[in-house]
C-alpha cells in the first residue's frame, strides 16, 4: 500500500485494521502523510479539542516541538490551539520526577476537553510511564470528568510491555478510554 488510496484495493483499510488489532485499538490510521510524531499529535489534538476547551498535560511539559502547536511559544496567529480558543495547563511533576498523583487528583476541570499523557520521558530525566501508571492516570481523569478525552503519546513506548495504551480499560468505564 502506498497510503494514497490509488489502486490499493483495500490496502489502506487492511493496514489500518491490522495495526489496530496489534495494538488493541478500536481503529487506527497508518499513513505516510504523517511526517512526524508532532504532526500526528497535532492532528489528534485538533480533532479532539474545540474552542473553549482546555488541554491538560498531566505528565509535566510535553515535547518542546508541541509548544508552537499548543500556542505557548512563538505562535501568535499561525493556527495554534491557542489561536482557536483552546487553553492549556500542565500538572508539574512531583519532586521525585514522577507523576504528582495528589495534584492530578484535583487537576481536571469541567472545561478540560483532553488530557495528554506523555508516556516517554522525552528530554527530561523522569521515568517513562508504564501501563499501570497510565491506567491509574486515566482512572483519576475520568473520576473528575467522565467526558474528558484522554490522549496517550506512546512515543518510544510501543511493545515494551505486554499491553498497549489502547488496551487499558478505565475502571469507571465499560470500555477502553476515549
User: Mind spelling out the 3-state secondary structure of 58-85?
Assistant: CCCCCCHHHHHHHCCCCCCCCCCCHHHC
Q: Is position 15 within any domain?
A: no
Within-domain flag for 173: no
- What CATH number should be reported for the domain holding residue 113? 3.40.640.10
114 domain residue, yes or no: yes
pLDDT digits (tens, 9 = 90+) for 102-117: 999 999 999 999 999 9
User: pLDDT, tens digit, for every residue of 79-97?
Assistant: 899 999 999 999 999 998 8
> Which element (helix H / strand E) includes 152?
strand 149-153
Number of domains in the chain: 1
For residues 64 and 97, the answer to whether their CB atoms sit within 8 Å is no
Determine the structural domain holding residue 82 and report its residue range.
Answer: 36-167
Whether 136 is covered by a domain: the verdict is yes
Question: How do residues 1-36 score in pLDDT, each as one tens digit?
Answer: 555 556 666 778 888 888 888 888 888 888 778 888
Q: Does the predicted TM-score (pTM) go above 0.85?
A: no
* Alpha-carbon distances, residue 28 vs 7, 112, 123, 138, 178 (angstroms): 20, 24, 27, 20, 13
Question: Does any domain span residue 174?
Answer: no
In a domain, 177, yes or no: no
pLDDT score of 101: 96
Domain membership of residue 176 (yes or no) is no
Amino acid at each position: 500500500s502506498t497510503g494514497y488510496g490509488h489502486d490499493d484495493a483495500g490496502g489502506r483499510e487492511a493496514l489500518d485494521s491490522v495495526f489496530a488489532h496489534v495494538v488493541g485499538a478500536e481503529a487506527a490510521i497508518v499513513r505516510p502523510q504523517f511526517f512526524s510524531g508532532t504532526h500526528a499529535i497535532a492532528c489528534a489534538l485538533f480533532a479532539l479539542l474545540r474552542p473553549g476547551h482546555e488541554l491538560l498535560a498531566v505528565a509535566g511539559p510535553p515535547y518542546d516541538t508541541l509548544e508552537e502547536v499548543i500556542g505557548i511559544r512563538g505562535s501568535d496567529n499561525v493556527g495554534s490551539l491557542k489561536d482557536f480558543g483552546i487553553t492549556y495547563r500542565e500538572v508539574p511533576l512531583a519532586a521525585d520526577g514522577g507523576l504528582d498523583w495528589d495534584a492530578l487528583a484535583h487537576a481536571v476541570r469541567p472545561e478540560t476537553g483532553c488530557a495528554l499523557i506523555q508516556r516517554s520521558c522525552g528530554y527530561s530525566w523522569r521515568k517513562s510511564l508504564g501501563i499501570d501508571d497510565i491506567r491509574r492516570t486515566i482512572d483519576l481523569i475520568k473520576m473528575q470528568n467522565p467526558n474528558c478525552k484522554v490522549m496517550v503519546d506512546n512515543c518510544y513506548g510501543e511493545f515494551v510491555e505486554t499491553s498497549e495504551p489502547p488496551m487499558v480499560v478505565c475502571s469507571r468505564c465499560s470500555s477502553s478510554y476515549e
